Every structure is written in structure tokens, then in C-alpha cells.
Amino acid sequence: MSDISIILIRHGEAAASWSEDPDPGLSDNGHEQAESLLIHDCYQDLSGYQFISSPKLRAIETSNFLAKKFNKNVRTDLSFSEIPATGVQMKDKMEWLGNISSMPIENLPLEVAVWRKEIITSLLLTKSNTVIFSHFMVMNVLASYARDEQRLLSFYPDYTSFIKIVLRNESIYTIEFDKEKKTKINI
């Protein structure tokens, strides 16, 4: 079986934090970040790739520039959506996320454990070169899985940064990380 190339791109800066709005679009800066993807070296030939996005507005809006450039339809996939926080009050989300991201994977709440497994399974079953527009924690699930780490938080991807994964025989063969965030995280 041939290698499958997958590029995960974190969405641009959102107009509001995750603890303020469950589905914000991009800020003005986020739109500029998404547009800057057009000139990034690694996104110059995506004609042979399928495009997938989290159903969250900030991810969809981030995909628009590259999708238009390559005349691609963007399919949404719940597998690559933000970490589920059912029942967590908006004001408590940041504290909750801090606790979840640092706890051992075997202690994750069932909803989060199922979400993590779905991300990994969906990625490993990908059958063609794919660009996925997604979120900070989705990228961390895959990074921690590839590195065999025992917690969700593995690295700090900046807005519109990427992870490049090569799959071989439905396993991660290689993984490459783009720039990490050096400022306060606004998940």
C-alpha cells in the first residue's frame, strides 16, 4: 500500500475564546492568518488532496482560502471537531480543559476518551491525501498518540500551524510539527 499524506492545520485566531462562545468565527487577524496560508511553501500543490474541516465555524472559515485556490469542496467531519465539554459551564471551560489536558489518558471522562479514539481511528483509516482544518486539542490528540505520551497535551500549535503525517499501512510512519505558540493560549 502506498503512503498517505495528511496535513492538519489549526484554525486561525477566533473572534472569541472557547469559554466565551461555543462556535465563534475568525477574528480579523484570524482571516489574515488564514489568507497567509496561500503563500506558505507547503501549501502550493494540494490539487491531489481532499479537504476536510471540523464543523466549527473558525475551522471552516480557515479552509476557505485554500479551498478556493484549489477549487475544492470542503467536507465537514465531526471526528475532527473540538473537544466535547457537555455539561461544562462556559465560565468553567478553561479550568476544566486544564484538568483534562494534563490527566492520564486512562482517566479521561468517557465522552473525551471516545472523542480521542474517534480522532485516531478516523485519521488512521484515511485512504487518500488529505488536508484537515481543525483545533488545538485535536492536533494534541494526534501528537500525543504518535509520541506515545500518556496525556492529551503534547505541544502548543500556533494559529494556522500544521502537523504533517505520513501514514503507511494504517499506522503513523512519520510526523512533522510546524511552529508552536509562544503567547497565551486562547483555546
Summarize pLDDT for 22-47 with one digit per residue, the tens: 899 999 999 999 999 999 877 889 99
CB 84 within 8 A of CB 22: no
Helices and strands of the chain, counted as H and E runs: 5, 6
- What's the topology of domain 6-177? Rossmann fold (3.40.50)
Give me the residue spans of the domains in the chain: 6-177
pLDDT over 90, % of the chain: 84
**pLDDT score, position 60:** 98
CB 25 within 8 A of CB 58: yes
pLDDT interval class at 19 (50, 70, 90): confident
**pLDDT score, position 187:** 40
Examine the pLDDT at 184 and tell me if it is beyond 80.
no
**pLDDT score, position 43:** 83
Examine the pLDDT at 49 and tell me if it is beyond 60.
yes
Looking at every residue in the chain, the average pLDDT score rounds to: 92
Phi then psi for residue 73, to 5 deg, are: -85, 140
Of residues 165 and 186, the one with the higher pLDDT is 165
pLDDT interval class at 144 (50, 70, 90): very high
> Average pLDDT in the 49-53 region?
98
Of residues 186 and 48, the one with the higher pLDDT is 48
Which residues have a Cβ under 8 Å from the Cβ of 141 and sit 6 or more positions away? 116, 119, 120, 152
